[in-house]
Structure 1
């Protein structure tokens, strides 16, 4: 029982914004106070969410809501099937009436942002020495967002477990959580926390000097088993170009104008432009992180079984149907923290590698084309049941592990974010009509290929399949539905020269490449 977010109030248009994250210098007693405040914020979130969920259930059970939601869906369906303009106008008018009624119902059940501000204010007053009113309102905004996800998208709203709330923020830099540029200090209800800014950090100094701070956010991270706090300054405008600290020169060149095609896979990315082509894994050291993760998970499993032998059956499975009590040894807790630290390091490493690849891509051109892919769908298990040659059932697993490790969607979002600073965005082609992996621009035909086929023959040339797909994507039509065959023919000779030169260079390297790239080193 959920709706599209069409009868919700439209959000205001957002101005360009970026975030500057800096480390806070905290003493032990200040860390304890911050942890206390984060725990209070978590309880306020859960209390407000509990009230909102009860109100949502009451609204859904009301007769007026059920009647209006039924009518809304009926007219929505009729509008899609309308054949004449008169019918279309009639159904739109009826839909507008239902939207207004549903909005009124939502307001009457206090399921709006401002209503939840009043709800949380009653509890926030009891903790006004730790949580200010603006911070409390931002907590209520997070609850409101969670309720909108539940109401309009059918998602489930979850309570925050102990220790899982990792950030609190204010509304302005004038009161509550605020940062003063003159003293480089964060102020929050009696706490004065110095902000660490290195003398040669030109980027941070330029951001603080030339940009207005909209509001501040305090972020909690667990690094090597210790709580470390950071301040995120949410600043207005476009971030300045980064400079080399020693010389003051710009770190990256200005993005040239030109087309760039990206064929992104679950663990590799292929890029084609007029000046350069390249193919590389998204994060080369991920297998090392995964190997260490498997070792720690096996260690945790052995510890759990040795400490809780009565919770397992003779065949090693966990006893079902009974609420079990689990004992944790000191070594188990220590290993668990090691695993959490490994996840943190892997996340930081992946984001760093993706940022480098994004900068490399933007050095090739500012008109970026990529396939519109649903990585969430690729990560899901297959619904079809298939048998192999021996008659045994094939595994329904697809690319969930690979996508979870390499995070290809993150690379697309980073590129889109960087393009947004110059008021541009990625062009996403239609995957179903484009068929980049099947098309041959010389013969103007389509041919299905197995996933294991990493090379393709085009006009007597042996071409790496992903690089050729990136080349076709680069030469997309303006409607983003098919490749421009004429443009492909004009740029193909240049692409072949860049392709052969790059592949020869890869084969001379000593490092091993993923099998999905299809590159074999020269003997």
Structure 2
């Protein structure tokens, strides 16, 4: 893996009192107001650019060329159209971030400094330039990558950034003291762990970014500095081995894996139920608080539900703001619980073998279909990304199986045929014939078992009776373990079937 793309990210929480927390909040709000003004200005420029008749005509012409609806132009004609578009966009300050080498071209950054900056005094210059760059990246997506509108991020997600120390930020690494060039406050950071100490005091890593970020707390907002260094992160004490392959079957809300020594079937996020129930309870309290304090802003519909009256300004009390802060904290806990479980699970899989095989599934297709809510809560793509990242630390990549060609969920090795009927989502077991006797094979773990027998990205090798018998023994042990845990979540996975080899 390319070391230039690898980064080591450290996050050090700042130990603050109420005066320091107020200073940081005000500092962030000042820069956030500046950020909102830039986004409003950018949307204003984009709106009037799109109203320009010449711009509309040229964009329509380029779209026709792309779709091959008209005769393809020569290079000279393309250059004329592109140059004319560039001149029009320069007039609105949307040709590039820093401007081009042409005369009178100052770019988006120059337009912002001319029209927005005079209204804001006393902000950090490096943070202002970083904000302009971030907004320009959004403009680039709107103009060239198909995004419809430039949105304003929430204040809780807003950060200020610098690319180097000793300009606006300063850090005493030995004494763990962080402070700004402005203001009298000096902030003590949390103690370094061995991982952070190794990154800080290494000679071959270069600093990329320093960010001041907000962390949602249970009762109040906390602050931290996030420091990003280029280069490979320190290698932890991980192990892997060249043993039999590991097959993984990942679904919208469940996963199964098979190894010669181990097999498992579980939900992707076992903490989902507890986290979601707490979030729903808090959302109900927030809704009740809004209705109680704004009775005229809601009306009762025919089905007995409350509906917000459009245009009414809702008054949010301090209690509502407190509940909203707690809700952000619960969302952060939910994300941390899921990520911690995925990190632990991926370590376990990588330790079994570096030959990990999984289907190349379309998570976006699932999300657009019936499983949008499950994808949001269970995040299967996050697990796949973590497995890839951990394998890359050893110099390996997972084997991605072609889903359309292999069709592991429909294949049965006894007949060597694909059975479309078994692809029904409600049918969680397969009948596999061995020596004249039919055995139940749980569909998900059987797909993971077949993944270990894939020769290339789609061809499944022959499976002997001894190999399938070993699979059945592991499956029986897995089912007994799951039933002993009294895990009712797994009832829908086909555990109610009778799995035995006797």
TM-score range, shorter chain: 0.7 to 0.9
**Cα separation, partners in 2 of 1:17 and 1:434, compared to 1, 3 Å:** same
Secondary structure of 2:5's counterpart equals coil
**Cα separation, partners in 2 of 1:172 and 1:157, compared to 1, 3 Å:** farther
Cα deviation, residue 403, structure 1:
2.1
C-alpha separation in 1, matches of 2:482 and 2:266: 10
C-alpha separation in 2, matches of 1:436 and 1:76: 38
C-alpha separation in 1, matches of 2:3 and 2:59: 29
1:283 is matched with which residue: 269, 275, 281? Answer: 269
Name the structure 2 match of 1:312. Answer: 299
Moved more, 328-337 or 447-456: 328-337
Name the structure 2 match of 1:153. Answer: 145
Tell whether the 8 Å contact from 1:42 to 1:165 is kept in structure 2 after alignment.
no
C-alpha separation in 2, matches of 1:504 and 1:322: 56
Name the structure 1 match of 2:341. Answer: 353
C-alpha separation in 1, matches of 2:212 and 2:174: 19
- Kindly provide the CA deviation profile for residues 227-284 of structure 1, in whole angstroms up to 9, marking residues without a partner as x: 2111111012111133xxxxxxx3x324657643321122211122344322222221
Instruction: Let me know the Cα RMSD of the aligned residues.
Output: 3.6
Tell whether the 8 Å contact from 1:44 to 1:120 is kept in structure 2 after alignment.
no
Tell whether the 8 Å contact from 2:38 to 2:112 is kept in structure 1 after alignment.
yes
Does the alignment pair 1:113 with 2:89? no
Tell whether the 8 Å contact from 2:235 to 2:393 is kept in structure 1 after alignment.
no
1:365 is matched with which residue: 353, 363, 384? Answer: 353
- Kindly provide the CA deviation profile for residues 101-129 of structure 1, in whole angstroms up to 9, marking residues without a partner as x: 65665455432222333344454576564
C-alpha separation in 1, matches of 2:131 and 2:392: 28
Q: TM-score, normalised by structure 1?
A: 0.79
Tell whether the 8 Å contact from 1:256 to 1:363 is kept in structure 2 after alignment.
no
Name the structure 2 match of 1:418. Answer: 390
Name the structure 2 match of 1:4. Answer: none
C-alpha separation in 1, matches of 2:348 and 2:78: 48
Name the structure 2 match of 1:170. Answer: 162
For residues 91-130 of structure 1, what are the structure 2 equivalents within 5 Å? 102=85, 106=89, 109-111=92-94, 112-114=96-98, 115-122=107-114, 123-124=116-117, 129-130=122-123
Name the structure 2 match of 1:22. Answer: 12
Name the structure 2 match of 1:182. Answer: 174
**Cα separation, partners in 2 of 1:222 and 1:505, compared to 1, 3 Å:** closer
1:342 is matched with which residue: 323, 330, 337? Answer: 330
1:434 is matched with which residue: 406, 412, 429? Answer: 406
Secondary structure of 2:16's counterpart equals coil
Secondary structure of 1:366's counterpart equals coil
Does the alignment pair 1:219 with 2:213? yes
C-alpha separation in 1, matches of 2:397 and 2:407: 22
2:418 is matched with which residue: 443, 446, 456? Answer: 446
Does the alignment pair 1:514 with 2:498? no
Cα deviation, residue 75, structure 1:
3.1
Secondary structure of 1:453's counterpart equals coil
- Kindly provide the CA deviation profile for residues 495-517 of structure 1, in whole angstroms up to 9, marking residues without a partner as x: 44444443343333344343333
Secondary structure of 1:231's counterpart equals strand
Cα deviation, residue 38, structure 1:
1.2
**Cα separation, partners in 2 of 1:225 and 1:502, compared to 1, 3 Å:** same
Tell whether the 8 Å contact from 1:473 to 1:483 is kept in structure 2 after alignment.
no
Cα deviation, residue 465, structure 1:
0.7
For residues 245-260 of structure 1, what are the structure 2 equivalents within 5 Å? 250=237, 252-254=238-240, 256=242, 259-260=245-246
2:430 is matched with which residue: 456, 463, 479? Answer: 456
Which ranges of structure 1 fall in alignment gaps of 5 or more residues?
1-11, 243-249, 383-397
Does the alignment pair 1:503 with 2:479? yes
Which ranges of structure 2 fall in alignment gaps of 5 or more residues?
99-106
**Cα separation, partners in 2 of 1:136 and 1:476, compared to 1, 3 Å:** farther
**Cα separation, partners in 2 of 1:274 and 1:188, compared to 1, 3 Å:** farther
Tell whether the 8 Å contact from 1:18 to 1:238 is kept in structure 2 after alignment.
yes
Name the structure 2 match of 1:389. Answer: none
- Kindly provide the CA deviation profile for residues 457-485 of structure 1, in whole angstroms up to 9, marking residues without a partner as x: 2333322111111223344454x3x2333
